[in-house]
Structure 1
Amino acid sequence: MVEPGLNEATVEGPLGADDLRKIDSYWRAANYLSVGQIYLLDNPLLREPLRPEHVKARLLGHWGTTPGLNFIYVHLNRVIRARDLDAIFVCGPGHGGPGVVANTYLEGTYSEIYPDISQDAEGMRRLFRQFSFPGGIPSHVAPETPGSINEGGELGYSLLHAYGAAFDNPDLLVACVIGDGEAETGALAASWHSNKFLDPVHDGAVLPILHLNGYKIANPTILARLSHEALADLLSGYGHEPFFVEGSDPAEVHQKMAGTLDAALDRIAYIQAEARGGNKETLPPRWPMIVLRTPKGWTGPKEVDGLKTEGFWRSHQVPISDVRGNPAHLLLLEDWMRSYAPEKLFDAAGKLIPELAALAPDGARRMSANPHANGGLLMRQLRLPDLRDYAVAVQTPGRAQAEATRVTGEYLRDVMRLNAETRNFRLMGPDETASNRLDAVFEASDRVWMEPILPEDVHLAHEGRVMEVLSENLCQGWLEGYLLTGRHGFFSCYEAFIHIVDSMVNQHAKWLKVARGLGWRRPIASLNYLLTSHVWRQDHNGFSHQDPGFIDHVVNKKADIVRVYLPPDANCLLWATDHCLRTYNRINVIVAGKQPAPQWLSIEEALTHCTAGIGIWDFASNDQGGEPDVVMACAGDVPTLETLAAVNLLRDHLPSLKIRVVNVVDLMTLQPKEAHPHGLTDREFDALFTTDKPVIFAYHGYPHLIHRLTYSRTNHANIHVRGYIEEGTTTTPFDMTVLNGLDRFHLAISVIQRAPGLATPAAHVIQRFRDKLIEHKDYIRRTGDDMPEIRDWVWPYQADAA
């Protein structure tokens, strides 16, 4: 017998009448729970007439996308059971929280994780009450939601997370629902190209489901207003084979969806079987996707106060407002909720009736209980080489030259080799692996590329561990999905353009912050950035490529999440890379140059120095056995070079001046211990920087950050920071430092002006340094290069000269 509300004339299709009735009933149960979460405080099963006190005072949440999500979820459950699929559900529509929570509750996972949200009337009441409520859960699909790897608070990243999850998961199906509002974002619009990087032999499959319900908050959506032909052409042009499911009659759309889902999964199985059988003629594959067009706010009130609601933007959030104060609205809400017939869906105790509960998959086959969506459960520790094997030999500080990132590239090459069998490490970058001098990795892996490969192409292959696409958004989203499903990765990028993912890293930081407080969410590998081609060496590009502000951005995040490393040389970069790959649940930012530069520390010295994160460089200091007259601090490779060159100038011209050099690798050590786990205590900070001596601090980025990190320190008033002050152009390397006052001459002048009693006696020295700056400016404009004494400078002292 077909359930009332279904059109019996349209039940023909792959679903038998009984299956159709059950699937529709399960869908109605999910819809009922979704509406209840938005509206109700009490009376969860409507066992009595609805009264104002049963309704929340503040109605928050979003209904419009939810019935479509519930519809897709129950149909995916059917095929998971029928085909024994290993599948996860990625919810792109930002406000689909009520639906996904409802489904995780129906299949029992929610109550297993949160026992107080039990499978009965009281548990349902608590489920409703907690939604968008103080002390409860967000309105989005969030870390608190079992089975989720995609925070719905910001649109655009669902398809990227889905592909990241599928890479190196050959048996996994990732069903990704994309809202038509979300599809208008730049990140999502580029995400369609992810299929060009999915290897059907070694990767899993992504099934994009574009849900067109026609509207966003208050406007129609672009893709929903395209003609069928134009939309089909667009999606086909992206390399997909689109299948369309359209309609508003539930029975008809259930049958269409069941048949279409079977056809799409058959197509995926065929693509994988052909590729895994060695048939390269099928490459690149045209992966299937589904376009589901249903009314916005489907099954909700068709009109409210005489205004169209279902199938229109008015159903986007809360279709019926002022329910407590408007008796007509209260009655309309009750009629809406009773239309789902909860008394036929839940038993006397308030639990889903057995014949419907049986539709959910079992155990880990439930999408809400799939371990891939709690990636720490599956994570295997990386095998890492001994970083000492890649060390640059440093006999005397500053005499050896090396390209720090090229050395690290050799280390990453062997990380790939050691983990080739487990296939759990990838390197991401926006077309910059070779530019950033990490090209040794190509000795271990090619770039993955599924489109045609020409004979003259270099390092392109259908199978690869290096992923390059000229979109920081794609790299970031893929890596997040990869990490969230239990793997490891590394993201190399030009420093200035990592800002493109500022908002994405915000969301990942928020995810980590919340997930760390959920005992059932297991730790995942850290998100590791190597930012190079940095602000101080933009020989080819100039001002447009000069911005060190990503550090400022990430430092705003929770202290237990963020780490920032500024290694001064290749051996310190090796340490930072190795260290970051061993960490979990963090966002690590490493900033290092790629150009040939002086090497300061042997590998053993680097290990000691970097482990502490900050320290006095004895080889550069001459205050041993007494108090310094001045502290010269530096953080970053170019600031370190200029600081030591300034020390050289001062020791030559003012040999009696006592100078202490403090180098900072771990930027977070500057904060107080109470503010950051890596922070120094006040006593430790004072021991390094003194309590009353001037500190001239040469910093890689914007100077104000150092002041912000150290404002509460005893000697903060004496800390004078030089860094990037938004002065740049295409010029020589040394001139970039001069433009921003970070060069050796400005640093030395600053020391003389601030060291007690030195400014007047050493006025002739200041004049000499200023003359050198004039000479520099004239020289570079005549020759286009730095003066030889600058360009070829080396640290002149032996290690024991002090």
Structure 2
Amino acid sequence: MTSTPRTPPADVLSAAEVADLDAHWRAANYLSVGQIYLMANPLLTEPLAPEHIKPRLLGHWGTSPGLNLVHTHLNRVIKARGLSALCVWGPGHGGPAVLANSWLEGSYSETYPGIGRDAAGMGALFKQFSFPGGVPSHVAPETPGSIHEGGELGYALTHAYGAAFDHPDLVVACVIGDGEAETGPLAASWHSNKFLDPVHDGAVLPILHLNGYKIANPTVLARLPEDELDALLRGYGHDPLHVEGDEPEAVHRALAAALDLALDRIAAVRRAAREDGVTERPRWPLIVLRTPKGWTGPKEVDGLPVEGTWRAHQVPLPGVRDDPDHLRALEAWMRSYRPEELFDPSGRPTAQVLRYVPEGPARLGATPYANGGLLLRDLPLPPLEDHAVPIDRPGTALHEPTRVLGGLLEEVMAATAGRRDFRVVGPDETASNRLDALYEATGKAWQARTLPTDEHLSRDGRVMEVLSEHLCQGWLEGYLLTGRHGLFSSYEAFAHIVDSMVNQHIKWLRTSRRLPWRRPIASLNYLLTSHVWRQDHNGFSHQDPGFVDHVLNKSPEVVRVYLPPDANTLLVTAGHVLASRDYVNVVVAGKQPGFDWLTLDQARAHCARGAGAWEWAGTEDGGREPDVVLACAGDVPTLETLAAASLLRHHLPELAVRVVNVVDMTRLLPHGEHPHGMPDAEYDALFTRDKPVIFAYHGYPWLVHRLAYRRAGHPHLHVRGYKEEGTTTTPFDMVVRNDLDRYRLVMDVIDRVPGLGVRAVALRQAMADVRTRHHDWIREHGTDLPEVADWSWDG
């Protein structure tokens, strides 16, 4: 396919059309300035006075005129072409612009009836912005039409692609600020076009807005020569259209022409792929828009240049409440938009301002794609019985839990083939994580060149692999926020790469839950495998279980963490999280062969409790209280705990041992701190108030202490877990190095049960001797001790 012209001919608008578009743009600019500065006198019906000015000026002007320009012109093409459209607003502080446009089109007043589209409503719109009890300066969940919080830069484009996948009629415009374009995640996001299927997916139209500056410095892409920038974007596989200027009429004409040409190009790509069977990867259009930072604002303040410089970034006139010159300059600035032409005496936008505003759900602030719960359908989950592993006796047969889960996911993928609303993402690890059964139902999304040696690549695949956790996270977030379902599978250690992204998604969900108009969306589900205890071959760099700690620091009503100990509990957990809404669920499970402990019915009951005693594993007799509680969370800690229980059963049969397994880590919290938390009476009944508890935990031991520190029995709680002792070694040596092994746990019991130390001194010494023998054995043989490698439950 041939490339489009670099600069399209700017002759698509009449003089009247330019005037109408300019009126809307001026109105949006006026409203943006008003939100930053005013808390009264919104229509300037009287001269501005200090009491009309907010006492704290918070907000960002610099990017707002550019965003208002894009919104104005998107309105025109949406209305003219009948587009289904969504816009992702990437610049970090674009709140004033997007709120202004939502108010102009009426979607804001429909969402918030107390803020009408009149003078009183305009005053309320102004006052609430960055004001106590109001709305933030970023595009946020409170903003109608938004799926992207701009406070942390770098993710706009990956969110846009996530929104476009499997929405074949949708056009997702994505405004990328030139500061944001410097980030690593955004730089990787340009490659998303290699995964966009023009047959089954929507289209993404990136609009790279270059206004030249960040907070205090120039931006890299804005300072590149145009030829170099053009070559860079073409190298990414795009066909750029360049729009540049600071004269409004010329820019209106050029941007209108560029949007028309870009959308014609998108329509041609779709026709070629959907009707003519073209399989060549297309060059998707992209618009490079260069306008001055803070355009139409003050050109100078206190003798220093502002418009077109970094000084326009935030509040160009900072002293308006105290400095009469600044106050006069603000009034002149706002009156330069001629508000009397834009709003009638009651404060309503004039017909000219609204000429190109779409109607109903076609408006960017009212699109159902930005309120994904409106589009969400329940996921067709198969009966778990079809995939459960049979168990005759616990701890005798082994399965790879994630491979068992892969069968369930394959059936879900097959069941959603027609509706296309389920995807699995991961950084090149689907097969490594034993989920390759998925390839029976779908391939791996891929639009680039293929070779005969490739496997499972597919233009319409719904498994998505790219070696960027940022892209996986962003794609899935955009996918979920627009009404679909998914799963993110990752090696445990490298989930940390998206720590800050999951922070933002958790904050988004927490805020959305408080907005009755935001419908619940499918949960963001992580499957963390290839975990710390079975990264013995990769070594220390791959051994980090701390993502759980990170997530459990966040909003309790949103986060959940599950550590299923075997294949059937993983199935039950997966069924639960895939059906859930408005959560971030972290599931940590092994991919290596592990013992099967519970039947499916037992797993269902155990997962419903979240934590419970495994009576078959303990040695409590009748109603007698235990002498010690062996608790565990995670597959390897469960194995070591049960092996320790077996040793105690054999060597100290008189000792009453209770074995407690925890699947849901939030159960350890008090009920008042988390919806899943145990009431004190239930916790005390399970763990006791005064007996020693030896807790073998999958991750960092201090997390368990933090969760349980308010419990009455906390002084008797001793936690073993990962303590940053890792290397390339045998599986069992990993637990020995971190004092989580069965022999160390038996020694802990002897050390902590009153009176047992004297009676069981020989057993303690024998346990220590085995650990020493283990050390020598692995260095000679390279494998674990036979009694460890060949162990099975003998209870």
| Fold shared by both chains (TM-score > 0.5) | yes
Aligned 1:608-757 pairs, distance under 5 A: 608-625=605-622, 626-757=624-755
Aligned letter for 1:776?
Answer: H
**Distance in 2 (alpha carbons) for counterparts of 1:541 and 1:624:** 44
Q: 1:299 aligns with which of 282, 296, 315?
A: 296
Any conservation in 2 of the 1:393–1:400 contact (CA below 8 Å)? no
Summarize deviations over 1:130-158 as a string: whole Å, max 9, x none. Answer: 00000000000000000000001111111
* 1:356 match: secondary structure: coil
Q: Given the two structures, how large is their TM-score scaled by the length of structure 1?
A: 0.97
Residue 6 of structure 1 corresponds to none
Deviation at 1:441, TM superposition (A): 0.5
Q: 2:287 aligns with which of 270, 286, 290?
A: 290
Query: 2:226 matched to 1:248?
Result: no
Q: 2:500 aligns with which of 493, 499, 503?
A: 503
**Distance in 1 (alpha carbons) for counterparts of 2:727 and 2:763:** 29
Residue 193 of structure 1 corresponds to 191
Residue 336 of structure 1 corresponds to 333
**Distance in 2 (alpha carbons) for counterparts of 1:56 and 1:396:** 71
Aligned letter for 1:52?
Answer: P
Aligned 1:113-152 pairs, distance under 5 A: 113-152=111-150
Aligned letter for 1:295?
Answer: P
* 1:479 match: secondary structure: helix
Residue 390 of structure 2 corresponds to 393
Using the TM superposition, name which of 539-548 and 427-436 deviates more.
539-548
Query: 2:783 matched to 1:789?
Result: no
Residue 309 of structure 1 corresponds to 306
* 2:561 match: secondary structure: strand
What is the aligned length? 786
Deviation at 1:649, TM superposition (A): 1.2
Deviation at 1:267, TM superposition (A): 0.3
Aligned 1:379-778 pairs, distance under 5 A: 379-625=376-622, 626-778=624-776
Deviation at 1:277, TM superposition (A): 1.5
* 2:694 match: secondary structure: strand
Deviation at 1:611, TM superposition (A): 1.1
Any conservation in 2 of the 1:448–1:467 contact (CA below 8 Å)? yes
Any conservation in 1 of the 2:160–2:174 contact (CA below 8 Å)? yes
**Distance in 2 (alpha carbons) for counterparts of 1:275 and 1:748:** 65
**Distance in 2 (alpha carbons) for counterparts of 1:792 and 1:530:** 29
* 1:243 match: secondary structure: strand
* 1:178 match: secondary structure: strand
Any conservation in 1 of the 2:619–2:656 contact (CA below 8 Å)? yes
Aligned letter for 2:412?
Answer: V
Residue 172 of structure 2 corresponds to 174
Residue 267 of structure 2 corresponds to 269
Any conservation in 2 of the 1:453–1:461 contact (CA below 8 Å)? no
Summarize deviations over 1:648-669 as a string: whole Å, max 9, x none. Answer: 1111111111100000001111
Summarize deviations over 1:57-86 as a string: whole Å, max 9, x none. Answer: 110000000000000000010001110000
Q: 1:224 aligns with which of 212, 222, 228?
A: 222
**Distance in 2 (alpha carbons) for counterparts of 1:370 and 1:247:** 31
Aligned 1:77-88 pairs, distance under 5 A: 77-88=75-86
**Distance in 2 (alpha carbons) for counterparts of 1:278 and 1:571:** 47
Aligned letter for 1:354?
Answer: A
Q: 1:355 aligns with which of 346, 352, 369?
A: 352
Deviation at 1:12, TM superposition (A): 6.9
Residues 12 and 455 of structure 1, relative CA distance in 2, 3 Å threshold: closer
Any conservation in 1 of the 2:565–2:638 contact (CA below 8 Å)? yes
**Distance in 2 (alpha carbons) for counterparts of 1:390 and 1:703:** 33
* 1:720 match: secondary structure: strand
Any conservation in 1 of the 2:648–2:655 contact (CA below 8 Å)? yes
Aligned letter for 1:621?
Answer: G
* 1:531 match: secondary structure: strand
**Distance in 1 (alpha carbons) for counterparts of 2:637 and 2:10:** 74
**Distance in 1 (alpha carbons) for counterparts of 2:679 and 2:42:** 53
Residue 54 of structure 1 corresponds to 52
- Could you tell me which runs of 5 or more consecutive residues in structure 2 were left unpaired when the two chains were aligned: 1-8
Summarize deviations over 1:245-291 as a string: whole Å, max 9, x none. Answer: 0111100010000111100000000001000014335x211000000
Any conservation in 1 of the 2:10–2:257 contact (CA below 8 Å)? no
* 2:534 match: secondary structure: coil
Using the TM superposition, name which of 757-766 and 170-179 deviates more.
757-766
Q: 2:100 aligns with which of 88, 99, 102?
A: 102
**Distance in 2 (alpha carbons) for counterparts of 1:523 and 1:572:** 26
Q: Given the two structures, how large is their TM-score scaled by the length of structure 2?
A: 0.98
Summarize deviations over 1:736-777 as a string: whole Å, max 9, x none. Answer: 000000000110100010001001111111110000000000
**Distance in 1 (alpha carbons) for counterparts of 2:196 and 2:10:** 36
**Distance in 1 (alpha carbons) for counterparts of 2:382 and 2:427:** 26
Any conservation in 2 of the 1:639–1:742 contact (CA below 8 Å)? yes
Aligned letter for 1:313?
Answer: W
Aligned letter for 1:487?
Answer: R
Deviation at 1:36, TM superposition (A): 0.2
Aligned letter for 1:543?
Answer: F
**Distance in 2 (alpha carbons) for counterparts of 1:101 and 1:38:** 12
Summarize deviations over 1:687-719 as a string: whole Å, max 9, x none. Answer: 111111000000000001101111111111001
Summarize deviations over 1:160-201 as a string: whole Å, max 9, x none. Answer: 110000000000000000000000111111000000000000
Aligned letter for 2:458?
Answer: A
Any conservation in 2 of the 1:633–1:695 contact (CA below 8 Å)? yes
**Distance in 2 (alpha carbons) for counterparts of 1:583 and 1:195:** 30
* 1:357 match: secondary structure: coil
Deviation at 1:90, TM superposition (A): 0.6
**Distance in 1 (alpha carbons) for counterparts of 2:760 and 2:353:** 88
**Distance in 2 (alpha carbons) for counterparts of 1:607 and 1:17:** 69
Aligned letter for 1:705?
Answer: L
Any conservation in 2 of the 1:734–1:786 contact (CA below 8 Å)? yes
Q: 1:374 aligns with which of 367, 371, 375?
A: 371
Deviation at 1:354, TM superposition (A): 1.8
* 1:760 match: secondary structure: helix
**Distance in 1 (alpha carbons) for counterparts of 2:92 and 2:606:** 45
Deviation at 1:355, TM superposition (A): 2.6
Aligned letter for 1:246?
Answer: E
Residues 596 and 115 of structure 1, relative CA distance in 2, 3 Å threshold: same
Any conservation in 1 of the 2:536–2:734 contact (CA below 8 Å)? no
Q: Over aligned residues, Cα RMSD in angstroms? A: 0.8
Residue 69 of structure 1 corresponds to 67
Residue 3 of structure 1 corresponds to none
Aligned letter for 1:228?
Answer: E
Summarize deviations over 1:619-649 as a string: whole Å, max 9, x none. Answer: 1011131111000000000000000011111
Any conservation in 1 of the 2:92–2:152 contact (CA below 8 Å)? yes
Any conservation in 2 of the 1:241–1:289 contact (CA below 8 Å)? yes
Residue 162 of structure 1 corresponds to 160
Deviation at 1:119, TM superposition (A): 1.2
- Could you tell me which runs of 5 or more consecutive residues in structure 1 were left unpaired when the two chains were aligned: 1-10, 798-802
**Distance in 2 (alpha carbons) for counterparts of 1:556 and 1:647:** 32
Deviation at 1:343, TM superposition (A): 0.6
Any conservation in 1 of the 2:10–2:256 contact (CA below 8 Å)? no
* 2:423 match: secondary structure: strand
Aligned letter for 1:280?
Answer: V
